[in-house]
Amino acid sequence: MSSFILVGAYILRKLADIIAHIYSYFFDASSFPPQVPSLLAGYDNGLLCALNPCAFLSRCRQQCGPIYRVSLGSMRLVIVSSGDAISSVFLASSQLLCLDPLHREVLYIVAGVKTNYAYLHEVMIRDLYPLIDRCLSPRSLGQTTQTFGPMLLSGIKNLTRDHSKSISLMQLTNEPLYTATNLVMFGSTFPTDTYKDFQTLNKSVPYRIGRTLLHYWPSYAARMRLLRSFMDYLQRGEVNDCDDKSACARSMHIFKDNNFQSLEGAQFVLIFLWTIHSNTMVNSFFSLSFLLGDPIGFARVRTEIDSAVQNFGSLEALLQAGPDGLDDPSFKLLTSAIMETMRLTVLQTAMRQANCDFDLKLKDGKMISIKKGEHVLGDVHAVHMDGTVFSDPETFVVDRFAQQPYRRKHLQTDGYPFHALGGGRHACKGRWLAVYGIKVVLIILLHLFDFNPAEENSAGWCLPRVHPRSVAVIHTEDDIFVRLSPRQAEKGL
């Protein structure tokens, strides 16, 4: 069965190349932005994009340049793939370019919301986003995550008690992070056994976006189990271990104020979780994967971590220091490794729709005429793979951002066209929590353990294959299995 699938995928890729070659004869470069040609009213382009979005955008960019129009069936898009143009999109007001259609799609794909979308979206904008702004800002993050480091350490220790067995690197870098984040955001009564179902649902997202039935039933069953678990949490309504100003108490107030104790509330919680975790878990996994594939970089980051642990006196003391303690020049290389991972894994920005006709002004003075109803998409991957900006762009370079002057409350990417965390009016609201969480995962794992390939990876460290239907951020169905052994200095742990 798998051989037929591989042959089919190969044939489709070759067909896409042939179609792209044919279309090159119909290309008209006289208009700006130029239009990607289509023989079937955009539905041919829609199919090619659904099969492999990143490859499709790359072919269009080679043919049309960094800014172009393309029709995917009935959907009309303007694609921008230069740093200045993406920055202009981020700076545009929501009155001009709105995210409502994207939110509707996410609510449906992830949480199964088919009715009452408008009310859930209103609560998301009115209550959820301000909560995230308050609780996950650099000023408040330390208070929100007071117990995060110790909980994450405990989760990793529980997962790694048996050193005789190999362990999934995806589970190792994701499950403790997922659980600890949920507990600081929702309190100790939040269910702690939902990771596997969440991962099953999250892995199905590329298929669900393309409306493919593959993986549909397992992910549907996982979603229903998640929703039942969250409904039980909401109906109990208990956050006894949180003060009134904590994130978990405030989130429970939102649920109660909007009478979210039924299916709607559970769907809202699921969207909240997916917003927090989907990109962070990918980057946590790939950060360690890239480091394992770069032995010299791995050793340098580990040396930096060990030195910091020694300065703090112990790993536990370092974890108690919280985000402010880790926002320090002594972690320049570690932070650079995380930023470099995000540069390599993020593919596109969120898609926005024009509410009216307007001209999008670029920094060079050019104007892009945007029509009402058109969607605007930023091809971040193209910018991050630009060899004129990033030397050797396809390679993981651990210290790429470590040469920048260190500034607290900044992410060491100033001066680069770095769009992995949004920007302008649309900067990722959870970016500080994401970077802090991945830092803590890597600090614990690199300080406590040595890594060796399991039998499944006997050929050595190989990066997982990128899912061809990856959208927004790299997805993979592969995993890396490792054998852990406590480092000599940590044998007693």
What are the CA-CA distances from residue 261 to residues 189, 228, 234, 264, 406 (Å)?
A: 15, 11, 5, 7, 46
For the annotated binding site, the residues are 428
Amino acid identity, position 230 = F
Torsion of CA 186, 191, 197, 203, to 10 degrees: 20
Count of CB atoms within 10 A of residue 341's CB? 25
Say how far residue 87 (Cα) sits from the centre of its chain. 19
- Which DSSP category does 97 fall into? E
User: What gap in Å lies between CA 311 and CA 315, rounded to an integer?
Assistant: 10
User: What gap in Å lies between CA 328 and CA 72, rounded to an integer?
Assistant: 46
Residue 174: its H or E element: helix 169-186
Please answer whether residues 454 and 482 qualify as being in contact, where contact means their C-beta atoms are separated by less than 8 angstroms: yes
For the annotated binding site for heme, the residues are 428
Please answer whether residues 430 and 132 qualify as being in contact, where contact means their C-beta atoms are separated by less than 8 angstroms: yes
Please answer whether residues 201 and 110 qualify as being in contact, where contact means their C-beta atoms are separated by less than 8 angstroms: yes
